[in-house]
A = this chain, B = another copy of it.
């Protein structure tokens, strides 16, 4: 039993795997923040989508008027969905990449650039910054993921 545990611990003690664990947690935490940003805009802009969420504003027409869309809410939601679309591939491909024995320095470079790109993307989306800020930060994260996918397939390809 303690031998087993030791083996599990070995994985988390590997430096590349620890780096993956750290940056995966950071980008997932960042993505989770988007829920709070959306909730903040829904409450401050009074823009809800579920009737039961407006019950505290009274009944009937007085509450119904808060069932509406708001540009800031929709913007936060689009940022959240873009995170899902890009962070899910990073999670899966990044894990396999971390297990494909990459060079520690190269791996850190990939993880850091990806995390930096996604954080920049969020600011570019929410502020919003003029294009091509958002487009470029999206493309950088995308390119990092492709680069890791290439290493995974080069190491593991088994069709």
A-to-B contact residues, CB < 8 Å? 4-5, 7-19, 21-22, 24-25, 28-29, 31-32, 34-35, 49-50, 52-53, 55-56, 75, 78, 80-81, 84-89, 91-93, 95-96, 99-101, 128-131, 134, 142, 145-146, 149, 152-153, 155-159
- Find A8's partner among B32, B35, B99, B156 (CB 8 Å cutoff): B99
Contact B35 A142 (CB under 8 A): yes
Q: Can you report 27 A-B residue pairs in the complex whose CB atoms are below 8 A from each other?
A: A4-B10, A4-B13, A4-B14, A5-B101, A8-B17, A8-B101, A11-B99, A12-B99, A12-B156, A18-B157, A21-B99, A21-B152, A21-B156, A24-B93, A25-B93, A25-B152, A28-B89, A28-B149, A35-B86, A50-B134, A55-B130, A55-B131, A56-B131, A84-B84, A84-B85, A91-B92, A95-B95
- Give chain B residues whose Cβ lies under 8 Å from the Cβ of A14: 4-5, 8
Q: By DSSP majority rule, is chain A's interface helix, strand, loop, or mixed?
A: helix
Nearest CB in chain B: distance from A72 CB, A: 12
- Give chain B residues whose Cβ lies under 8 Å from the Cβ of A17: 8, 156
